[in-house]
Amino acid sequence: MIRVLIADDEALMRAGIRLILENAEDIAVVAEAGDGREAAAACRAQDIDVALLDIQMPDTDGIAAAEDIARLSPHTRVVMLTAFGEEAGVTRALRAGASGFLLKDTGPAELIRAVQLAAQGEPVLAPRITRRLMEGQVRSGRETEAALRRIEELTPAERDVLRLLGTGLSNAEIAERLYLSTGTVKAHISRILTRTGCANRVQAAVLAHDAGLLADR
Flag whether pLDDT at 206 surpasses 80: no
Domain boundary among 77, 106, 135: 135
Do 111 and 66 fall within a single domain? yes
Confidence of residue 49 (pLDDT cuts 50, 70, 90): very high
Of 129, 198, 16, give the one whose Cα is nearest residue 208: 198
Do 35 and 106 fall within a single domain? yes
Say what the pLDDT of residue 200 is: 77
> Which CATH number is 12's domain given?
3.40.50.2300
> Which CATH number is 182's domain given?
1.10.10.10
Q: What pLDDT, in 10s, does the model give residues 28-38?
A: 999 999 999 99
Say what the pLDDT of residue 31 is: 95
Say what the pLDDT of residue 208 is: 87
Say what the pLDDT of residue 215 is: 63
Q: In what order do the strands lie in the sheet with 124-125?
A: 27-33, 2-7, 50-54, 77-82, 100-103, 124-125
Do 108 and 162 fall within a single domain? no
Confidence of residue 139 (pLDDT cuts 50, 70, 90): very low
pTM over 0.75: no
Do 72 and 131 fall within a single domain? yes
CA–CA dist 151, 157 (Å, integer):
12
Of 167, 172, 176, 179, give the one whose Cα is nearest residue 216: 167
Cα 117 to chain centroid distance, Å, stands at 10
Do 83 and 150 fall within a single domain? no
Do 113 and 181 fall within a single domain? no
Do 122 and 160 fall within a single domain? no
Say what the pLDDT of residue 43 is: 93
- All residues at 6 or more sequence positions from 112 whose CB lies less than 8 Å from its CB, including other chains: 20, 21, 23, 24, 27
Do 128 and 163 fall within a single domain? no
Name, of 90-94, 142-146, 181-185, 210-214, the range with top average pLDDT.
181-185
Do 126 and 169 fall within a single domain? no
Say what the pLDDT of residue 204 is: 85
Do 122 and 149 fall within a single domain? no
Q: What pLDDT, in 10s, does the model give residues 158-195?
A: 999 999 988 778 888 899 999 999 999 999 999 999 99
Say what the pLDDT of residue 210 is: 81
CA–CA dist 15, 10 (Å, integer):
9
Structurally, the chain folds into a number of domains equal to 2
Do 39 and 85 fall within a single domain? yes
Contact 128, 105 (CB under 8 A): no
Query: Which structural domain range is residue 168 located in?
Result: 143-216
Q: What pLDDT, in 10s, does the model give residues 63-122?
A: 889 888 988 888 899 998 887 555 566 667 776 777 788 888 888 998 999 899 889 887
Domain boundary among 70, 104, 135: 135
